[in-house]
Amino acid sequence: MRRVFDFHGGIHPAENKQQSLTRGIRQAGVPEQLTLPLSQHIGAPAQPVVAVGEQVLKGQLIAEARGHVSVPLHAPSSGVVAAIAERPIPHPSGYSAKCIVIDCDGRDQWAPLHGVADYRDHEPTQLLERIRAAGIAGLGGAGFPTAIKLAGKPGASIRTLIINGTECEPYITADDILMRERAGDILAGIAILRHILHPEQVLIGVEDNKPEAIAALRSAAADAEPGLEVIAFPTKYPSGGEKQLIEILTGLQVPSGGLPADIGIVCQNIGTVVAVRDAIVDGRPLISRITTVTGEAVAAPQNFEVLLGTPMQYLLDLAGFQPEHCLRLIMGGPMMGFTLASAAVPVVKTTNCILAPSASELPPPPPAQACIRCGLCAQACPASLLPQQLFWFAQGKEVEKLEQHNLFDCIECGACSWVCPSHIPLVQYYRASKAEILQQRHDHEKAEQARLRFEARQARIVREEQEREAMRAARKAAAEQRARQAAAKGSEDDPVQAAIERAKAKKAAQQSGDAATPEQQAAAQLDALRQRLEKSEQRLAEGRAAGEQEKILVALEATVQRLREKIAAAEAAAPQPETH
Ligand code: SF4
Ligand code: SF4
């Protein structure tokens, strides 16, 4: 029998799972309207490819992945796109975000689906593309795009595939019921993952508080290829954490800040594995999921297969919601879940549970007291952190110390808060600090990118100025060269030199004109005109001989004509010498 290991810390909160396991999975049906946030996964939100008023079919692509870490979105039922706009989403902040809203037509009519007859005929890359195109993100709660996780790091080989059948939150039973009812589909999904990853071993880890699920998996696994084991281990919270489960099943620890792939391991959630099977075998995109609806404020706790985008209020009503008994609604479990601002928000890919507890069942925590340094939080922490110290650093916003004390290894399991006798909401401080640090990193990256852009622009401006300067220098050198050549040849052919000489002559004439008689001035002017005429006639003759353009010749002829007329006028007006 395989040895199982233990991880540091952990707690044993009271279980409340039986309530929702008295019935099988129930189809929730089609509500009147579906609201689909464009971001139901980690990474860039999907980009709508439909317009308001457009008719869509069930399974049709309505938003495509944008960027590497992103997944597309599909219509969960047929109908008409009623809006693409901001709507409240299930998020701890209570924020709104962009959603595609579909008014369902009730026909639930499928778009054509294209599964593959035998996945073994397809390359792993082709199967990964199908998984990505089906919009599959981790259904365990994190929502990381599955195809990216399966693709792993280039060159890193996967020795162990771990299937996470652990469901340690006290109320959630969505995976438990799936293992009981669809163990065959889980094994079919695992076979596809084995074809993609070629691991040496596959370990399905399930806590021992799910004997029916373990039996169903073991029965289905009897026909599976060798190298696959269903491993039961003692129930403890939070065994479902990826790093904790890896340690339980293999004894290996994922290095701080590292990924399971760094030690040759990939983990996938049970629900995700079924979604992979549905995408490859049936060609069915991810448009629904199993969600537990439970708590003392619902009359009939149970698990639903629910279309994504279904209003939580619709699901709660199916389970016999009694709002008068409910103090707050929680998405997820009491340990890691968060309070919802409204029951109008939709079910999304990560909605594994809607918990409607009564006031006595989950009373509001009493006011926090001062830390008494009892150390219980450190004993409970499964990540071997020092929660009390992290708390001080978080309060003081000492970012560097938080990072030095491995804040980002915190899996936000809430075990420290659970055991704290002073009722300090420790995990909330860590969440806030992480968000702040990530925002700071993001801002720093943006500032760095802006700095690099600015420097590149400055460098380009300097380079362009240098190029312009070089061209100016080259033009100047060429002009000087031409001038030297013209000077050597004589100034007659050089129009610049000729102009300079004309100006010199004019100035000299003006200077000398002051002292000359009117007859002398007229004679000098006539002389100058005759010289210009001579040059213009010569230029015209050369132009004709060289076959220059017609318009140039016309202009030269006009100049010659004008000079002739000026000379004639000057000759006529010239003062006659006096006769005595
Ligand atoms: S459990 Fe609470 S009181 Fe005890 S050391 Fe940790 S933070 Fe302080
Ligand atoms: S919430 Fe973080 S610090 Fe607290 S016990 Fe869990 S992992 Fe440790």
373 and 339 share one domain: no
Q: What is the DSSP code (8-state) at residue 298?
A: B
The pLDDT score that the predictor gives to residue 580 is: 43
Is residue 323 within 8 Å of residue 286, measured between CB atoms? Answer: no
308 and 174 share one domain: yes
**Model confidence over 63-120: pLDDT tens digits?**
999 988 899 999 999 999 999 999 999 988 888 999 999 999 999 999 999 999 999 9
Nearest CA to ligand 1 atom 8: 371
3-state secondary structure 52-77: CCCEECECCEEEECCCCCCCCEECCC
Nearest atom in ligand 1 to 375's CA: 5
Pick from 302, 325, 355: which residue ends a domain?
355
240 and 323 share one domain: yes
**Model confidence over 125-169: pLDDT tens digits?**
999 999 999 999 999 877 889 999 998 777 778 999 999 999 989
Mean pLDDT of 351-378: 94
289 and 232 share one domain: yes
312 and 453 share one domain: no
**Model confidence over 178-194: pLDDT tens digits?**
999 999 999 999 999 99
d(CA 328, CA 338): 10
Higher per-residue confidence, 260 vs 152: 260
Nearest atom in ligand 1 to 416's CA: 1
The pLDDT score that the predictor gives to residue 492 is: 54
What is the band of 220 on the pLDDT scale with cuts at 50, 70, 90? very high
Nearest CA to ligand 1 atom 4: 374
The pLDDT score that the predictor gives to residue 484 is: 80
Mean pLDDT of 225-233: 93
CA of 142 to the centre of ligand 2 (A): 16
Nearest CA to ligand 1 atom 7: 388
pLDDT exceeds 60 at position 241: yes
- Position 363 in a domain: no
Pick from 434, 462, 490: which residue ends a domain?
462
283 and 394 share one domain: no
Closest CA to 28 of 345, 317, 331, 356: 317
- Position 40 in a domain: no
Among 11, 369, 374, 430, residue to substitute to test ligand 1 (most atoms within 8 Å of Cβ): 374
Place of tokens 């009564």: 358
- Position 213 in a domain: yes
322 and 256 share one domain: yes
Nearest CA to ligand 2 atom 3: 387
Nearest atom in ligand 1 to 422's CA: 3
Q: Is 380 in the pocket of ligand 2 (CB under 6 A)?
A: yes
Is residue 406 within 8 Å of residue 256, measured between CB atoms? Answer: yes
**Model confidence over 397-420: pLDDT tens digits?**
999 999 999 999 999 999 999 999
Is residue 241 within 8 Å of residue 167, measured between CB atoms? Answer: no
The pLDDT score that the predictor gives to residue 573 is: 81
Is residue 333 within 8 Å of residue 413, measured between CB atoms? Answer: no
Q: What's the Cα-to-Cα distance from 403 to each of 8, 163, 430, 467, rounded to whole Å?
A: 21, 30, 11, 48
Is residue 214 within 8 Å of residue 238, measured between CB atoms? Answer: no
Nearest atom in ligand 2 to 417's CA: 4
pLDDT exceeds 80 at position 235: yes
- Position 105 in a domain: no
What is the band of 364 on the pLDDT scale with cuts at 50, 70, 90? confident
- Position 230 in a domain: yes
Q: Is 387 in the pocket of ligand 2 (CB under 6 A)?
A: yes
Structural domain boundaries enclosing 176: 18-28+116-355
What is the band of 579 on the pLDDT scale with cuts at 50, 70, 90? very low
Is residue 95 within 8 Å of residue 89, measured between CB atoms? Answer: yes
- Position 229 in a domain: yes
The pLDDT score that the predictor gives to residue 515 is: 52
Mean pLDDT of 453-464: 92
Higher per-residue confidence, 156 vs 351: 351
185 and 121 share one domain: yes
pTM, entire model: 0.77
| Protein residues with CB under 6 Å of any ligand 1 atom | 371-377, 387-388, 391, 419-422, 424, 426
331 and 234 share one domain: yes
409 and 335 share one domain: no
What is the band of 225 on the pLDDT scale with cuts at 50, 70, 90? confident
Sheet holding 55-56, edge to edge: 33-37, 96-104, 79-88, 55-56
Mean pLDDT of the chain: 91
**Model confidence over 7-35: pLDDT tens digits?**
999 999 999 999 999 999 999 999 999 99
Burial 27-46 (b: 16+ CB within 10 A, else e): ebebbebbbbbbbbbbbebb
Torsion angle of the four alpha carbons 134, 138, 142, 145, in this order, in degrees rounded to the nearest 10: -50
The CATH number covering residue 226 comes to 3.40.50.11540
3-state secondary structure 174-206: HHHHHHHHCHHHHHHHHHHHHHHHCCCEEEEEE
Q: Which ligand is nearest to the CA of 427?
A: 2
314 and 408 share one domain: no
pLDDT exceeds 70 at position 174: yes
The pLDDT score that the predictor gives to residue 322 is: 95
**Model confidence over 550-566: pLDDT tens digits?**
888 888 899 999 999 99
pLDDT exceeds 90 at position 2: no
Mean pLDDT of 331-350: 94
- Position 160 in a domain: yes
416 and 449 share one domain: yes
Is residue 213 within 8 Å of residue 301, measured between CB atoms? Answer: no
pLDDT exceeds 50 at position 270: yes
Pick from 423, 440, 462: which residue ends a domain?
462
Number of domains in the chain: 2
- Position 204 in a domain: yes
